[in-house]
Structure 1
Amino acid sequence: MTSPTAVAYPTPFELGNGNQTTTWAECIAFYERLAGRFPGVLRWWRVGTSDTGLPMHAGLVTSDGVFDRETLRDQGRPIFFNNNGIHAGEPEGIDACMALVRDFCLEPERLAALGKTVFLFIPVYNVDGCVNRQSTSRVNQLGPESFGFRGNGLNLDLNRDFIKCDSLAAQMFNRFFTAWNPDVMVDTHTANGADHVYAMTLIPTQPDKLGGDLGNFLRERMLPAIYGEMQRRGWPTCPYVNLLAETPDDGIEDFLDLPRFSTGYAALHHTIGFMPETHMLKPFADRVAAMRTLLEVVLDFSVANAARIQQLRRDLRADAERRTQWPLRWRNDHARPARLRFQGYSAVRTPSRLGDYQRIAYDRRQPWEKDIVHFDRCVEERVVTAPKAYLVPQAWRDVIKRLKWNGVALRPLDADRVFDAARVYRVVEVGTRATAYEGHMFHDHVLLSTHCEAIRARAGDMLVSLDQPQARYAVETLEPEAHDSFFRWGFFNSVLERKQDHISAYVFEDTALQMLADEPALRQTFDDWKAAHPAQLSDQQAVLWFLFTHGRRHAEPEWRRYPVAALI
């Protein structure tokens, strides 16, 4: 429903036919006009530059005209953050946020209802994608008439970039999010997938992964309140329809929001995150209305429960400083199914006219409502004992930069030093995707060996103590087996290469014989290899390369040695 105040400051969506979304230029001009007219309500500023050189903006609304971040922090003000347009072809949040901010400016009662809570927003995160307008890239989406593109100027999906930070946008976002430290975040999207009754579905930060009493509060208090209020306001909402099989009839499971995604990234900062996903086949006007309602519902709950949320976040951050174990990987728990009342449409299968298979369609003339299985829990799959600190050699500058952007406390060594006991990993095996994934050859599979040794560090190397609130970010990026570690994203790929990778066979033959005489362990390893690979004994290069790479004499200590050591 359009606000009465829209007459004075209508958004491009409100001026259209219900199937049009704002352009980036229209959006920025709209906020600049509001900020100029209502400087005591809205602060508007440039926060960065996109990869194609366009300005990126943020806005801030407070009920009392206090906008200075340090002052707000000193006052302990709750921060509600709304991020929009990360996928610029999913623009409902862009239009909904514009109308909401306008109403804050023009409706005193709505502004006063914020109380001490701060409404922080990024109007368009993927600026590059937003200006790349067309009407075809969202293959199955019903409207709007034209919209932006998913990729940014580097053709990156920014909702996969929060850890690796290849884009200027993500580098800005890491610093921005850390500086403002929001209590609750809503990052707006549109969903693909099975057809059903709901215009709105919701991905929350997975409560088990969020952890502690904050995760319990999200599961037991916040989510039921949001679903109940959305139902009351005429927009019934269900969990994101993450299918177990082909149709919702077979059930759904929670989306495992890894740190590459916005809600998973928020969890690294102990922030409750939501990724509302409107349904692609509902009319665009309905999707905008549902998104506006969802924003208001989550905001209202956050305002009413701000003190409790802030306290639970403080507790979780304090717990991070004294944890003795950290989960590195999670999986959906299929041992604890729940039941979810769901409204869907009958799936109809008919022979395809294109190939020799059955196609599926959903018949909206045959709605149904019934309980389906919902796996709404996750369990720890891999846990690591927390070290006292990590030692990051100063050479790995890109890693150190990202730690700093996320508020991780780092202490450079002021002199060379030897640490007597450190946990060191060697990479036994990696399984890398056959094709590029968001600009990287991502390591899906990592097998490590672990041993303890003394570490010689240089002045300027960085100590990362885990006795700090940002311990979780450090652990989940520096432990190589974690879902979205820097290692998996390829930041340490150079250690997977031997630097001396050539041998002259006619010279090395005699050297290899002497190595076998000097190294009994190598002789045993070589005997085992010969027994397992008799066909390769006729291949001189294979024989000599095995001895070269497995012997001690020409070993390269850096080869396959993970450079970050865990001090124990």
Structure 2
Amino acid sequence: MSIELLTPYEKGNLNQTTTHADCIAWYDELARRHPNVLRFGQVGVSDAGVPIHAGVVSSDGIFDRDQIKRAGRPVFFNNNGIHPGEPEGVDGCMALVRDFCTQPERLAALGQTVYLFVPLYNVDGSLNRADTSRVNQDGPEQFGFRGMSRHLDLNRDFIKCDSLTAQVFNKLFTAWDPDVMVDTHTSNGADYSYTMTLIHTQPDKLGGDLGEFLRSTMLPAMYAGMEARGWPTCPYVNPVKDSPDEGIADFLETARFSTGYAALHHTIGFMPETHMLKPFKDRYESMRALVETALDFTVRNAGQIQALRRAAKQASGTRREWPVHWAMDEANPGTFRFKGYEAQYKPSVLGTYTRLCYDRTKPWERDIAWYNRFPADITLPAPRAYVVPQQWREAIERLQWNGVRMERVEADRMEEVDYYHIVSVTSRPNAYEGHMFHDDVVLEKRRGQVQLRAGDFIVPLDQDNARYAVETLEPLGHDSFFRWGFFNSVLEKKEAYSDYVFEDHAAELLNDEPALAAKFEAWKAANPALLSNQEAVLDFIFANAERYREPEWRRYPVFMIA
């Protein structure tokens, strides 16, 4: 192999990762030399104005997306560098694409499968290069930073899409509609013998026959394939207590994460997590093995995967109810044969507490509890369609980016709809990824007439992309638009009162509105301690008086047509 085709990792001391500039220049040159194998180019621009690139490898020189989709060809998607401080996937992808270009037998093994890849997704973070941000990680010598230019974690941005980068991803993913995705990472956490651990789309959440195929067929094959390649792999080590000894739990990757987002499109997703304490060379080799194991399985089983995805999409259009929230089954764990190190506790030299440590001279292997079942704990009846009024542009844009079919209201009309009254919301006390995320939401379903305007959007659920619409528009969904604060303005009552004037008027309201008086008596009985608080008393009367009712206040502004 000519020196020019060696990757920066291969040219170095095996403890170095490519820079962004070297990575893109290297792919440009590779594509120039092998135009019949690789198509590489810019697909968007980051928030800092840095080009974002993607590449396509095809065994027959066909790169046109529409032609590939018309032919029904399988698509395998490899995303790299979402956290540039976890770069082994970036370097491994370069070598794999080079091998496709220079090894005819490796290219031929792709068959009809198309290999789609993003070489370095978080381009902003990749330019923020140092050797200090990954506190507990063994190499490489320098690397990029987790946050992008707006200090967001892109692996929390797939639904809210605050970043231009995530918007580019949404559009790219929807356009190609991959069958399987691998998004490469490095882990933090406990110490153990494995170099590679694996997060996958949670099968119960993926659901149906596709989820069962992942659990019963693909995952066992992945673990066996990694074992055969010399890289024993275990599920992502997410201890239910301090250490793995007492069990691990599947990571419930909701739609803010890459694999959870992929599930909204009925795509099987993996987040391989190499172990931070292992040398970079080992992490690189195990990541290459993992990506190739997933790719080879996809090539061999593409027909079945595609058939299961088609069936899942078709079933979406006729569902009468939708799960929107899942929780771990704590009563029925499975088991996993785990290879760990003895966990010990000893006094800290920094304070008066005891600290956890692991003794690598005392390895152990035994079955541990594996909490890998997550049944739905909130399931909702499916409306025929949602209505999203046109003023809620942020929600509408994201539905469009994700291929959700919508229709426009042609003329103003009144419509009988179901809607949610927002009873209460509990938000996080501190900002989370730029938002005050709503952890707890209490709703009351109501029915009534609303005014629809010409140009409002109707979102019918008899479509392949119904799942994306349901999980983002239903407020109780794990990562709904509501939880991320897209509709926060409806939580604010717009008018107020002057207490010294309203005090007398409030008494008149209680005489004029019997329903209000009854509510007030019930409130007084339930809250005797608040009767000495003028603000609390007047707030209750003002908020519940029919005369001063603001219909939009606490009315969730996405409606349901039965």
TM-score range, shorter chain: over 0.9
1:378 aligns to what SS in structure 2?
coil
> What is the alpha-carbon distance in structure 2 between the residues aligned to residue 241 and residue 557 of structure 1?
48
Match of 2:68 among 59, 68, 72: 72
Whether 1:357 and 2:353 are equivalent positions in the alignment is yes
State the Cα distance separating 1:364 from its structure 2 match: 1.3
State the Cα distance separating 1:115 from its structure 2 match: 0.4
Whether 1:184 and 2:180 are equivalent positions in the alignment is yes
> What is the alpha-carbon distance in structure 2 between the residues aligned to residue 86 and residue 29 of structure 1?
19
Whether 1:445 and 2:471 are equivalent positions in the alignment is no
State the Cα distance separating 1:517 from its structure 2 match: 1.2
Whether 1:326 and 2:326 are equivalent positions in the alignment is no
State the Cα distance separating 1:528 from its structure 2 match: 2.6
Whether 1:517 and 2:501 are equivalent positions in the alignment is no
Match of 2:470 in 1: 475
> What is the alpha-carbon distance in structure 2 between the residues aligned to residue 153 and residue 402 of structure 1?
21
> What is the alpha-carbon distance in structure 1 between the residues aligned to residue 239 and residue 286 of structure 2?
22
Whether 1:379 and 2:378 are equivalent positions in the alignment is no
Match of 1:55 in 2: 51
Match of 2:425 in 1: 430
Could you tell which deviates more after superposition, 451-460 or 469-478? 451-460
> What is the alpha-carbon distance in structure 1 between the residues aligned to residue 62 and residue 229 of structure 2?
32
User: Can you list the C-alpha shifts for 1:288-321, whole angstroms capped at 9, x where unaligned?
Assistant: 0000011111100000111110000000000101
1:119 aligns to what SS in structure 2?
strand
User: Can you list the C-alpha shifts for 1:255-301, whole angstroms capped at 9, x where unaligned?
Assistant: 10100000000000000000000000000000000000111111000
User: Can you list the C-alpha shifts for 1:399-422, whole angstroms capped at 9, x where unaligned?
Assistant: 0000000000010011112223x2
1:176 aligns to what SS in structure 2?
helix
Match of 1:285 among 260, 269, 281: 281
Match of 1:462 in 2: 457
Q: Which runs of 5+ in 2 are unaligned?
A: none
Match of 1:221 in 2: 217
Judge conservation of contact 1:78–1:310 (CA < 8 Å) in 2.
yes
Structure 2 vs 1, CA of residues 474 and 6 (structure 1 numbering), >3 Å: closer, same or farther?
A: farther
> What is the alpha-carbon distance in structure 2 between the residues aligned to residue 538 and residue 186 of structure 1?
60
Match of 1:418 in 2: 414
Whether 1:567 and 2:557 are equivalent positions in the alignment is no
Judge conservation of contact 1:185–1:273 (CA < 8 Å) in 2.
yes
Match of 2:488 in 1: 493
> What is the alpha-carbon distance in structure 1 between the residues aligned to residue 217 and residue 527 of structure 2?
61
Could you tell which deviates more after superposition, 335-344 or 28-37? 335-344
User: Can you list the C-alpha shifts for 1:466-490, whole angstroms capped at 9, x where unaligned?
Assistant: 0000000000000001100000000
Could you tell me which amino acid in structure 2 is paired with residue 549 of structure 1? A
State the Cα distance separating 1:45 from its structure 2 match: 1.1
Judge conservation of contact 1:6–1:14 (CA < 8 Å) in 2.
no
Match of 2:394 in 1: 398
> What is the alpha-carbon distance in structure 1 between the residues aligned to residue 529 and residue 471 of structure 2?
43
Could you tell me which amino acid in structure 2 is paired with residue 547 of structure 1? I
Could you tell me which amino acid in structure 2 is paired with residue 562 of structure 1? Y
> What is the alpha-carbon distance in structure 1 between the residues aligned to residue 4 and residue 559 of structure 2?
60
Instruction: Output aligned runs, 1:220-299, within 5 Å.
Output: 220-299=216-295
Could you tell which deviates more after superposition, 458-467 or 541-550? 541-550
> What is the alpha-carbon distance in structure 1 between the residues aligned to residue 525 and residue 198 of structure 2?
57
User: Can you list the C-alpha shifts for 1:157-208, whole angstroms capped at 9, x where unaligned?
Assistant: 0000000000001001111100000000000000011111100000110111
> What is the alpha-carbon distance in structure 2 between the residues aligned to residue 311 and residue 101 of structure 1?
27
Match of 1:133 among 129, 136, 153: 129
1:332 aligns to what SS in structure 2?
coil
Could you tell me which amino acid in structure 1 is paired with residue 447 of structure 2? C
**Percent identity of paired positions between Structure 1 and Structure 2:** 62
Match of 2:140 among 140, 144, 149: 144
Match of 1:369 in 2: 365
Match of 1:557 in 2: 551
> What is the alpha-carbon distance in structure 1 between the residues aligned to residue 373 and residue 184 of structure 2?
23
When the two structures are superposed, what TM-score results if normalisation uses the length of structure 2?
A: 0.98
Could you tell me which amino acid in structure 1 is paired with residue 54 of structure 2? A
State the Cα distance separating 1:365 from its structure 2 match: 1.3
Could you tell me which amino acid in structure 1 is paired with residue 115 of structure 2? F
Match of 1:167 in 2: 163
Could you tell me which amino acid in structure 2 is paired with residue 499 of structure 1? K
> What is the alpha-carbon distance in structure 2 between the residues aligned to residue 350 and residue 344 of structure 1?
19
Could you tell me which amino acid in structure 1 is paired with residue 237 of structure 2? V
> What is the alpha-carbon distance in structure 2 between the residues aligned to residue 135 and residue 506 of structure 1?
62
User: Can you list the C-alpha shifts for 1:81-102, whole angstroms capped at 9, x where unaligned?
Assistant: 0000001100000000000001
State the Cα distance separating 1:6 from its structure 2 match: 6.7
Q: Which runs of 5+ in 1 are unaligned?
A: none
User: Can you list the C-alpha shifts for 1:209-239, whole angstroms capped at 9, x where unaligned?
Assistant: 1111111111111111110011011000011
1:48 aligns to what SS in structure 2?
strand
Could you tell me which amino acid in structure 2 is paired with residue 283 of structure 1? P
Could you tell me which amino acid in structure 2 is paired with residue 149 of structure 1? F
2:273 aligns to what SS in structure 1?
strand
1:341 aligns to what SS in structure 2?
strand
Match of 1:10 in 2: 6
> What is the alpha-carbon distance in structure 1 between the residues aligned to residue 524 and residue 294 of structure 2?
65
State the Cα distance separating 1:122 from its structure 2 match: 0.2
> What is the alpha-carbon distance in structure 1 between the residues aligned to residue 528 and residue 252 of structure 2?
46
Structure 2 vs 1, CA of residues 41 and 134 (structure 1 numbering), >3 Å: closer, same or farther?
A: same
RMSD, aligned α-carbons: 1.1
User: Can you list the C-alpha shifts for 1:315-345, whole angstroms capped at 9, x where unaligned?
Assistant: 0000101000100110111222111111111
Could you tell me which amino acid in structure 2 is paired with residue 490 of structure 1? G
> What is the alpha-carbon distance in structure 1 between the residues aligned to residue 233 and residue 356 of structure 2?
24
2:515 aligns to what SS in structure 1?
helix
State the Cα distance separating 1:240 from its structure 2 match: 0.4
State the Cα distance separating 1:534 from its structure 2 match: 4.1
Judge conservation of contact 1:245–1:251 (CA < 8 Å) in 2.
yes
> What is the alpha-carbon distance in structure 2 between the residues aligned to residue 424 and residue 470 of structure 1?
22
Could you tell me which amino acid in structure 2 is paired with residue 484 of structure 1? D
Whether 1:548 and 2:539 are equivalent positions in the alignment is no
Runs of 4 or more, structure 1, over 6 Å off, are: none
User: Can you list the C-alpha shifts for 1:110-135, whole angstroms capped at 9, x where unaligned?
Assistant: 00110000000000000000010011
Match of 2:303 in 1: 307
> What is the alpha-carbon distance in structure 2 between the residues aligned to residue 168 and residue 61 of structure 1?
25
Match of 1:92 in 2: 88
> What is the alpha-carbon distance in structure 2 between the residues aligned to residue 364 and residue 544 of structure 1?
65
Whether 1:24 and 2:23 are equivalent positions in the alignment is no
> What is the alpha-carbon distance in structure 2 between the residues aligned to residue 397 and residue 516 of structure 1?
40
Structure 2 vs 1, CA of residues 195 and 540 (structure 1 numbering), >3 Å: closer, same or farther?
A: closer
1:290 aligns to what SS in structure 2?
helix
User: Can you list the C-alpha shifts for 1:421-465, whole angstroms capped at 9, x where unaligned?
Assistant: x21101111000000000000000000111111232111110000
